[in-house]
Amino acid sequence: MNEPILQVNDLHYYYNDNQAALNGISVSIYPGERIAVIGSNGAGKSTFFLNINGVLSPEHGEIFYHGTKITKKSLPELRKNIGIVFQDADNQIIASSVKAEISFGPMNLKLPREEVSRRVNMAMEYMNITEYGDRPPHYLSGGEKKRVAIADIIAMEPDVIIFDEPTAALDPLNAVMLEEVLEKLSAEQKTLLISTHDVDFAYRWAERVLVFCDGQIIADGTPLSVFQNDEVVKKASLTRPVMLDVYEELVRNGLLADAGVYPRDMREFRELIGK
């Protein structure tokens, strides 16, 4: 494959001296990849994200963006190109109206007014929040705030977008809408990293899965290879995706021929059954 967009070498991070939150993370991320980051609570996913965005500086280890090493000096460049949607939207929203909030990132990029305005409107349309534009954020519900937080980052148009548990607060309709947005962003060749506890989502959406456990990456591969590896599933206390279980059960009971094509969502499953 081509050159990695982001390369992380042996990253260590400590919140306090005796316990490592990240303990030797090495990973290469390539342009346009769709990566799901999974792992139990406290495994270090959020910490990892904050490190690659340069918000936290690692104790030890290096990060390369497009082959150039990230130092204090090149940090603004890194932040311009890597956007992060925080786990807790309340910690991200600073302005007192939704529109102003979304314009904060683009304004910091020193873009001309018209461009900022265009991006703000685009992002609001993407996230289906155009009607809230003039409201103060504290009159929005949790899920609506989350969508504002996502629009914040979309408006900055970074190459790499990191979502820290985006689906956690969304209702089913908006979760589906979020997946459509992710699809669109993918089509625009954005590199996407998403942490999630929803294994079904990870299984159907991602093309690569990173499994975190106690500050280390214990598995890195296609969703299928990761979830079929019982040892990894057990160690990271994951559950297997329903779709995978159903398929294997059907094959084992001879109800379905084992063709090696694993359905990832209901649509693919229906096609398989229909045959």
Partner 1 sequence: MSHEHTARSHTGRHHHHKGGHRHDTGGSSIDFYACHSRIRHWNPGFRVGFSIILLLFCILANHPAVSCVIILTAAWITVGMGGLSFRRYFSVLTIPITFILLGSAAVAVDFSRQPIGDFHLYLFWGYLYLTYESLLNTLFLILKVFGAVSAMFIMTLSTPSHELFSVLRKARCPSLIVELMHMIYRYIFILMEVQRNMRISAESRLGFGDFKTSCYSFGQIASNLFIIALKKANAYYDAMEARCYDGTFAFLEEEHQANPKHLIAAGIYLTALMSFWLAIR
Residue ranges binding partner 1 (CB under 8 A):
50, 53-56, 76, 79-80, 83-84, 86, 88, 90-97, 99-101, 103-109, 113, 116-117, 120, 134-139, 152-153, 156
Min separation Cβ 87 and partner 1, Å: 10
DSSP codes, the chain? ----SEEEEEEEEEEETTEEEEEEEEEEE-TT-EEEEE--TTSSHHHHHHHHTTSS--SEEEEEETTEEP-TTTHHHHHHHEEEE-SSGGGT--SSSHHHHHHHHHHHTT--HHHHHHHHHHHHHHTT-GGGTTS-GGGS-HHHHHHHHHHHHHTT--SEEEEESTTTT--HHHHHHHHHHHHHHHHTT-EEEEE-S-HHHHHHH-SEEEEEETTEEEEEE-HHHHHH-HHHHHHTT----HHHHHHHHHHHTTSS---S----SHHHHHHHHH-
Exactly one of 43, 82, 129, 243 binds ligand ATP (CB under 6 A); which one?
43
Binding string to Mg ion for residues 15 to 54, with x set by CB under 5 A, is what? -------------------------------x--------
Exactly one of 39, 58, 105, 223 binds ligand ATP (CB under 6 A); which one?
39
Instruction: Note whether 47 binds ligand ATP by CB under 6 A.
Output: yes
Min separation Cβ 51 and ligand ATP, Å: 9
Binding string to Mg ion for residues 120 to 149, with x set by CB under 5 A, is what? ------------------------------
- Quick one: what does residue 112 bind among Mg ion, ligand ATP, partner 1, none, with the CB cut-off 5 to 8 Å set by partner type? none
Binding site for ligand ATP (CB under 6 A): 15, 21, 39, 41-47, 87
User: Which residues in this chain contact Mg ion in the complex, by CB under 5 A?
Assistant: 46, 87
